[in-house]
Structure 1
């Protein structure tokens, strides 16, 4: 499904089918690496479905899609600049396509960088994207459990005492935010469940 979405997206910006196929193959290769238990194609599908439900609210749908495909392109648990590197990759790709203004490319860069801290933004497309990215936090407990197990697998390099300490810090930072979700649509749907899930996970990590 996502392959066709990507190919259709690129049709407006290049008539080089070999180029777009090559770009997709690159995306697929990165997202199907064996160390990606959560940040994989399924994660992209999940976000796409979340965004599709609010498509009429999006200002620049194509740029949001490019942000989707490249926001986790670079993913290395040993690095702290994954978002920056992924945003730079997106800029590189978009600069080699046609009919995309610098303003729109900068917007894509901004959206991807926003997934690092998930702070509220004056750009509503940024808020919709970061909310969709965090929507997994507000899933059912069963789905959330699968998510946290997959995240743990991605960080299997670290022993429990180190992982648990870092994970709890991240979770407590999320709970400290005035609101996890910046848009009414996602806040209404996920805020309460997300806070319950996060609180429950912290208790599990403390046992």
Structure 2
């Protein structure tokens, strides 16, 4: 459950996961289909940029693992996996348009990598959906990606504390009072959602724990 850097697999394992998702999404691919490796390497380099403390390869790996768990609920799980790779590929903590820039990166890279226009558009749509994590009831792929991205909220207490500390490190340039106010607003917005998780698995296994963790964090922030 925790996005622990020690749990991130070697690059070769991640390259393999990206290649399988890309090849499935662009199937049937012709003999001249581009090699997935350069695209994987570009994304891996992005995910290990030095300004990241939470949005790291460990987070990417955790989201991919959660997508694997939630695969039965997805309409096109390999498109969801590609969206997971791109969803925080552009990440600067002091910028507000990271999801949009990540979506645009997918819109540039995936057609070049051999993915159809329709599937590229779906990946980009899913990436943009992570701004608010509020997929429609009929949006199966959106529900899977959003649940996978938010699963850290249901981590055990020590892992949740490590997650919140890493988020604070990413926003080290924000004064304490401003950070507490901004973080509290984000958490309250999440609690106002009818459900944090939309897949049956997420509702059963993650919802109650996540709401408890968020409530406890809000109490700490208010002190």
The two structures have a TM-score, normalised by structure 2, of 0.87
- CA separation of 1:3/1:16 partners in 2, compared to 1, >3 Å: closer, same or farther? farther
Cα-to-partner distance string for 1:165-201 (whole Å, 9 max, x where unaligned): 1000101111111111112110111111111101110
The answer on 1:114 being equivalent to 2:126 is no
The answer on 1:68 being equivalent to 2:80 is no
Q: What SS does the aligned partner of 2:79 have? A: helix
Give the number of equivalent residue pairs. 206
Alignment partners' CA distance in 2, 1:80 and 1:94? 23
Equivalences for residues 123-142 of structure 1 within 5 A: 123-142=139-158
Are the equivalent residues in 1 in contact too, given 2:33–2:113 (CA < 8 A)? no
Match of 1:195 among 211, 218, 222: 211
Alignment partners' CA distance in 2, 1:173 and 1:200? 15
Cα-to-partner distance string for 1:116-137 (whole Å, 9 max, x where unaligned): 0011323201111101100000
Cα-to-partner distance string for 1:104-155 (whole Å, 9 max, x where unaligned): 2211111111100011323201111101100000111111101000000000
Q: What SS does the aligned partner of 1:45 have? A: helix
- CA separation of 1:161/1:175 partners in 2, compared to 1, >3 Å: closer, same or farther? same
Alignment partners' CA distance in 2, 1:138 and 1:165? 22
Match of 1:4 among 16, 25, 31: 16
Are the equivalent residues in 1 in contact too, given 2:129–2:142 (CA < 8 A)? yes
The two structures have a TM-score, normalised by structure 1, of 0.93
Residue 162 of structure 1 is matched in structure 2 by 178
Instruction: Return the offset for 1:10.
Output: 3.3
The answer on 1:43 being equivalent to 2:53 is no
Residue 144 of structure 1 is matched in structure 2 by 160
The answer on 1:34 being equivalent to 2:34 is no
Q: Which structure 2 residue ranges, 5 or more long, are not aligned?
A: 1-12
Alignment partners' CA distance in 2, 1:61 and 1:180? 20
Q: Pairwise CA RMSD of aligned residues?
A: 1.7
Alignment partners' CA distance in 2, 1:18 and 1:32? 24
Q: Which structure 1 residue ranges, 5 or more long, are not aligned?
A: none
Q: What SS does the aligned partner of 1:54 have? A: helix
The answer on 1:80 being equivalent to 2:96 is yes
Report the more deviating stretch, 161-170 or 47-56.
47-56
Higher relative contact order (CA 8 A, sep 6+): 2
Report the more deviating stretch, 113-122 or 14-23.
14-23
